[in-house]
A and B are shown apart, each in its own frame.
Chain A
Amino acid sequence: MIHSLFLINAAGDIFLEKHWKSVVSRSVCDYFFEAQERASEAENVPPVIPTPHHYLLSVYRHKIFFVAVIQSEVPPLFVIEFLHRVVDTFQDYFGICSEVMIKDNVVVVYEVLEEMLDNGFPLATESNILKELIKPPTILRTVVNTITGSTNVGDQLPTGQLSVVPWRRTGVKYTNNEAYFDVIEEIDAIIDKSGSTITAEIQGVIDACVKLTGMPDLTLSFMNPRLLDDVSFHPCVRFKRWESERILSFIPPDGNFRLLSYHVSAQNLVAIPVYVKHNISFRDGSSLGRFEITVGPKQTMGKTIEGVMVSSQMPKGVLNMSLTPSQGTHVFDPVTKLLSWDVGKINPQKLPSLKGTMSLQGGASKPDENPTINLQFKIQQLAISGLKVNRLDMYGEKYKPFKGIKYMTKAGKFQVRT
């Protein structure tokens, strides 16, 4: 399936190559570079590029293109999903996934890639299994290995490979047994000029960090499971149990994993926690435009909105902006025409605002379009859908684990049209 992999940085350098079948010359990437040039922006490079003898399938993450070389028919999502899994694995192993990190750990990277595919077909992609085969580098282990000559490579087949719970390794031991669950919801919304909602949806995930000894069997139930309209699970979740009782029952992987992704039913009205008041105007024949935006809280259930960031792509005709924020810092890049304002917290008593003028190209007519405002924000201790975990129980082990549940709401793709 997957013949070869090339990692390409922003400058267009191939800094790593790996082949799972016979070697494919790196000149195949020339087709990729051509497409890259045509696309002007990285995110417009087509994920699937045909060449005379191969197909190039790529994903773009952390400013790196992961380009897979394919020789024959394969479901494109198979390759794309796998490439994302490679990136996730690197992130898991090294904390961050960057060119420097990959270059510094090239041997581990190579060993991991070797285990992930055999003859181009995925072999081990569960991080729990991989970590038993190839231990992630730590400073301590590196020092110990140099002294004792021991290695990062395991010599036994990870038990997970053969068990019915392939995602969990055996013999897990902790002195502090803890299970943390983060319920994180993102609001995707388009708000029209007048402030009414054109479309709004909530996407949520439950990310878990479970460090429990032995083979714990967990159940997690919700106060209001019917809010969840559509869900996707980590393979550890027992589907039938969910179907019949709306309870998440699972033997967790060890460490960090995404337990559940969900979509909140579109029938439920989505609470919009912020509003943006805007007055952006251009006049014909004038080289000055007015710009004024205010951000305020709307339906926040009494919680504070923080980490507010406003950004907007201004029309080409805007030469510069002279603005004063009531709080936070702002930047306008006259080349890319991108305005960004780091607002911080919203204090309902004193609403943050950004006011001033725009200087426009002299003589040119006023731009047709008003810019769209993109918003980012965070609200701690709130799941905006109202989803609430009822309880978490553990079976199969005797000790009492420490359990924690955190809620957070964030802006996803949150846009205000002006």
Chain B
Amino acid sequence: GKNEDLKQMLESSKDSSKLDAMKRIVGMIAKGKNASELFPAVVKNVASKNIEIKKLVYVYLMRYAEEQQDLALLSISTFQRALKDPNQLIRASALRVLSSIRVPIIVPIMMLAIKEASSDLSPYVRKNAAHAIQKLYSLDPEQKEMLIEVIEKLLKDRSTLVAGSVVMAFEEVCPDRIDLIHKNYRKLCTLLVDVEEWGQVVIIHMLTRYARTQFVSPWKKDVVEEYNENNFYESDDEQKEKDQKVKKTYVMDPDHRLLLRNTKPLLQSRNAAVVMAVAQLYWHLAPKSEAGIVSKSLVRLLHSNREVQYIVLQNIATMSIQRKGMFEPYLKSFYVRSTDPTMIKTLKLEILTNLANEANISTLLREFQTYVKSQDKQFAAATIQAIGRCATNITEVTDTCLNGLVCLLSNRDEIVVAESVVVIKKLLQTQPAHHGEIIKHMAKLLDNITVPVARASILWLIGEYCERVPKIAPDVLRKTAKSFTNEDDLVKLQILNLGAKLYLTNSKQTKLLTQYVLNLGKYDQSYDIRDRTRFIRQLIVPNEKSGALSKYAKKIFLAQKPAPLLESPFKARDHFQLGTLSHTLNSKATGYLELSDWPEVAPDPALRNVEAAEVVGRHRWNVEGSTSQVHIFGFQVSRKIFYVFYSDSEDSKKKAKGITKKRNMSSSSDSEASSSEESSSDSKSESDLQSDSQSGKPGRAASKEKKKKKKEEKKKKNGKGLAAHYHFSRQPCIFGERMVSVQVTVTNTTDQKIENIHIGEMKLPAGMRMHGFNPIESLEPEGSITVSMGIDFCDSTQTATFQLCTNEDHFNVSIQPPVGELLLPVTMSEKDFKKEQGMLTGMNEASATIAVAPQNSSSPVIIERVVKAANLGVVPSGQDNIHRFAAKTVHSGSLMLVTVELKESSTAQLIINTEKTVIGSVLLRELKPVLSQG
């Protein structure tokens, strides 16, 4: 044989020559040359001790085993042994190769190997098992049921390494078994951010499909978005009640919200496929008001290479038809560059056209003028089409566009002129009333234009509106009758049409001409022309044979014709899921899975419940959660009390009670106290603030409406009391980045169990949002429990009011944040601080001279007091007399810079720099007394 030398090398006792041989063989495979005759010589080396030889043999085996099944079986025992190797890499690669050998006879061996590997201690081996599932399934689909069992098992796996691969297997083997996902849904949502990027794409696509079968549509009209995470803890009866309510107001399922929230950070992924996956998820699942958050990230992808641009632009094109608003702010990002490939140019043009509206059309038309002049004539022609579409969609500019197109009729480039004619024809059809002049102008062009489709369009126009140009039309027919034999078929047909129409409207002048044309048509080479001629003659020229139809000839030829619709070619694409191959191709690709319509009634959400122990949240981006410590350096001692208070140990609870007695509210406090609280919270008086600082806690008590007060007093008498106090934990909120984190401690002061403590109706000022706590099933007498909630105060001190409900009763609670709690500390160097401060002068600066009590003038005291009063970060300072603090507002992230500069004679200058001037001045007012009091 010709590969004799290679065979000899493989038989050699030296590993180096074996390796050389294997390298040459792999080179042959790479080039697509046939190396199958070497199979027996190669397979002998499958158990080589040299790991590189072994790997190359694997490469060879995977390529040729299918062709040499009998010989391939010789290698199986080696792999079976390797599956038990203590080294996980060896176990995994043995499974990889074994499952890649497409030899049906080893199906049972593969099945066994997969089952074992799916329980392997190494997640890497389990990942490989998930891959092997798909391989076995394509080799022998009959194994499906057994494989589904393995999939079910691996879906429960908590390793981020396995998640993507097993979901991939699920998608290939049993995508319809949605039931396998329920119990793993929340885990997948939580793990998502830590899964490798490819797995993320697969999981996001699967969860998109899942969500569309499990949740009700967030797009219904009169949608009220509420953050209510209660329902899956409720009993069946309550659930039924809820269901009835759903018909009135829409409440997003908390699991639906979980998916949206956990995918959002992935918009910042470096991987374009991940970003697109999240974008399509938001498009298909998010309330319409939220889908807009993906625009910016999609526009960012346009700076990537041309292939990514191509796919992203296609998807934006589809989105921009339905929801213009999403991309309008990025209009200029779609401007075309002369160096863009034609396919990119055309897509950008498509998007620009979709985005055109009354406000931007004049800018756009100016931009289009540049494109019309492009050297790329195909693109210039597409631009003319685009102008036509703008003209029909935006009536204000129809005339402007039409005039612009008419100007193009004198362009030197024939393609441009031809395209303009075609578009003008369509436009005139929509409103022919007063465009006689344009038609005349176009008639003149006939002498110069040679492009058939343009000539045909002009002739059709003249024929259709021949009564508006009675003098010119017969003349055009005369001219074209002369050139008839040399015209393109398309043009010939229109000459015949023109003749027919003139014959019917102006037979005196055109009868002979038309008959002449009909005679030419009768002997034309094209049978289409001959047929058409015969047809027309029968219709318009009356003779004894012609039937009843000729009476209606005029009605037939000159019927009012509907104007053509100028629509986006992307209009039809939206029935494919965005981001899919099918969407790109605009036809259903093999294996495309339809996205189902939202169900009318959501299936039971309890299906997704798992025993608490099973839900595992592990956030890599959160793991190093030292962020809070970073803020509070220099203030650790006093903050500690704060934290200890909220830990669950009995000890700290006792301490907490001591500290916070004053804050206790609702039914347990007497009416005088609560009314004073109420008034103080309204006025934001200084004394209120002071009392906060005294208690060592910047929280403020809940107050209630007067109406309820009596009721609660009564309850108290009956021994039914529920005390709730809250405070601001000063940590980033876990429920949403714009929310202020609030912790509520609920205490049962009665002698009976209180059940089902939950949040009822919320009354929030416009724009504010609230994320309630999970319902507390029951609270024993004397028991107390602390729960977290998040409120987005929109950087304002407006009050959030909501109902705190129990099984039997409900209380109104209002929370009004002190301005200092609307902040989160920022770490910053002195230099940074000065720089930022330099940019926030003038209107953004507020200052006041304040008195400083002598005992308050030392650095530690100033820092302690200021930080106590407002959630500020300390900026290291080089000067002893100047103290700087920095924070940002929770909602908008605007900087809030505070400077305290000690002056002589017990005064200080207090300066606040911020864009948020309103809360800046409130903060100034609240900080003023902080240092003056002892």
A154 to B52, CA, bound (A): 9
Contact, CB under 8 Å: A152 / B341: no
Give the one of B66, B102, B123, B134 with max A CB within 10 A.
B134
User: Among the listed stretches A223-231, A344-352, A403-411, which one makes contact with chain B, having 4 or more residues with CB under 8 Å of it?
Assistant: A223-231
A46 to B26, CA, bound (A): 31
Q: Which residues of A contact B310 (CB under 8 A)?
A: 46-48
Answer yes or no: A99 CB below 8 A from chain B CBs. no
Q: Which residues of A contact B370 (CB under 8 A)?
A: 417
Q: Which residues of A contact B620 (CB under 8 A)?
A: 164, 238
Q: Which of B31, B168, B277, B591 contacts A75 (CB 8 A)?
A: B277
Contact, CB under 8 Å: A106 / B589: no
Query: Looking across the interface, which residue of chain B has its beta carbon closest to that of A124?
Result: B196
Contact, CB under 8 Å: B131 / A118: yes
Provided the pairs A75-B277, A81-B273, A245-B630 are in contact, do residues A17 and B197 lie with their beta carbons within 8 angstroms?
Answer: no
Contact, CB under 8 Å: A249 / B582: no
Contact, CB under 8 Å: B338 / A415: yes
Interface 0/1 of B167-200, CB less than 8 Å to A: 0100000000000000000000000011011100
Provided the pairs A43-B341, A368-B373 are in contact, do residues A151 and B303 lie with their beta carbons within 8 angstroms?
Answer: no
Shortest Cβ distance from A389 into chain B, in angstroms? 11
Shortest Cβ distance from A202 into chain B, in angstroms? 10
Interface 0/1 of A233-264, CB less than 8 Å to B: 11100111101111101000000001001010
Summed over the interface, the residue pairs from A and B with CB atoms below 8 Å come to a total of 279
Answer yes or no: A372 CB below 8 A from chain B CBs. yes
Shortest Cβ distance from B897 into chain A, in angstroms? 13
Contact, CB under 8 Å: B131 / A234: no
Q: Which of A73, A82, A84, A390 contacts B580 (CB 8 A)?
A: A73
B residues 283-340 with Cβ under 8 Å of A?
296-297, 299-300, 303, 305-308, 310-312, 332-333, 335, 337-339
Answer yes or no: A383 CB below 8 A from chain B CBs. no
Contact, CB under 8 Å: B339 / A47: no
Provided the pairs A55-B581, A73-B593, A240-B621 are in contact, do residues A166 and B196 lie with their beta carbons within 8 angstroms?
Answer: yes
A234 to B269, CA, bound (A): 7
A55 to B585, CA, bound (A): 10
A151 to B895, CA, bound (A): 57
Q: Which residues of B contact A203 (CB under 8 A)?
A: 303
Contact, CB under 8 Å: B627 / A244: yes
Contact, CB under 8 Å: B268 / A233: yes
A86 to B660, CA, bound (A): 61
Number of interface residues of B (CB under 8 A): 119
Q: Which residues of B contact A232 (CB under 8 A)?
A: 268-270, 275, 297, 300
Contact, CB under 8 Å: B623 / A157: no
A412 to B337, CA, bound (A): 12
Shortest Cβ distance from B335 into chain A, in angstroms? 5
Answer yes or no: B831 CB below 8 A from chain A CBs. yes
A47 to B624, CA, bound (A): 41
Query: Looking across the interface, which residue of chain B has its beta carbon closest to that of A238?
Result: B621
Q: Which residues of B contact A217 (CB under 8 A)?
A: 624
Interface 0/1 of B361-396, CB less than 8 Å to A: 000000100100111000000000000000000000
Provided the pairs A14-B32, A73-B589, A162-B123 are in contact, do residues A238 and B624 lie with their beta carbons within 8 angstroms?
Answer: yes
Answer yes or no: B398 CB below 8 A from chain A CBs. no
Provided the pairs A106-B27, A413-B337 are in contact, do residues A151 and B732 lie with their beta carbons within 8 angstroms?
Answer: no
Interface 0/1 of B623-651, CB less than 8 Å to A: 11101001000000000000000000000
Interface 0/1 of B114-138, CB less than 8 Å to A: 0000000011100110011011001
Answer yes or no: B30 CB below 8 A from chain A CBs. yes
Q: Which of B135, B300, B582 contacts A119 (CB 8 A)?
A: B135
Q: Which residues of A contact B197 (CB under 8 A)?
A: 125, 235
Q: Which residues of A contact B337 (CB under 8 A)?
A: 190, 372, 413, 415
Provided the pairs A76-B584, A234-B270, A245-B827 are in contact, do residues A107 and B303 lie with their beta carbons within 8 angstroms?
Answer: no
| A-B contacts besides A23-B66, A201-B333, A223-B831, 18 pairs, CB < 8 Å | A44-B342, A46-B343, A47-B307, A61-B305, A77-B312, A80-B308, A107-B23, A111-B59, A118-B96, A121-B134, A123-B131, A151-B50, A161-B161, A199-B335, A224-B836, A231-B268, A238-B622, A315-B375
Q: Which residues of A contact B (CB under 8 A)?
A: 1, 14-19, 21-23, 26, 41, 43-44, 46-48, 50, 55, 58-61, 70-78, 80-82, 84, 106-107, 109-111, 114, 118-119, 121-123, 125, 146, 149, 151-157, 161-162, 164, 166, 188, 190, 198-199, 201, 203, 217, 221, 223-224, 226, 229-235, 238-241, 243-247, 249, 258, 261, 263, 266, 313, 315-316, 365, 368-369, 371-372, 374, 390-391, 412-413, 415, 417
Q: Which residues of B contact A (CB under 8 A)?
A: 15-16, 19, 23, 26-27, 29-32, 50-52, 55-56, 58-59, 63, 66, 87-90, 92, 96, 99-100, 102, 122-124, 127-128, 131-132, 134-135, 138, 161, 165, 168, 193-194, 196-198, 201, 205, 265, 268-273, 275-277, 296-297, 299-300, 303, 305-308, 310-312, 332-333, 335, 337-339, 341-343, 367, 370, 373-375, 411-413, 579-582, 584-585, 587, 589-593, 619-625, 627, 630, 732, 737, 824, 826-827, 829, 831-832, 835-836, 895
Could you show 13 A-B contacts with beta carbons less than 8 Å apart?
Answer: A16-B30, A44-B341, A48-B585, A76-B581, A81-B273, A164-B620, A217-B624, A224-B835, A233-B268, A238-B620, A240-B621, A244-B732, A390-B832
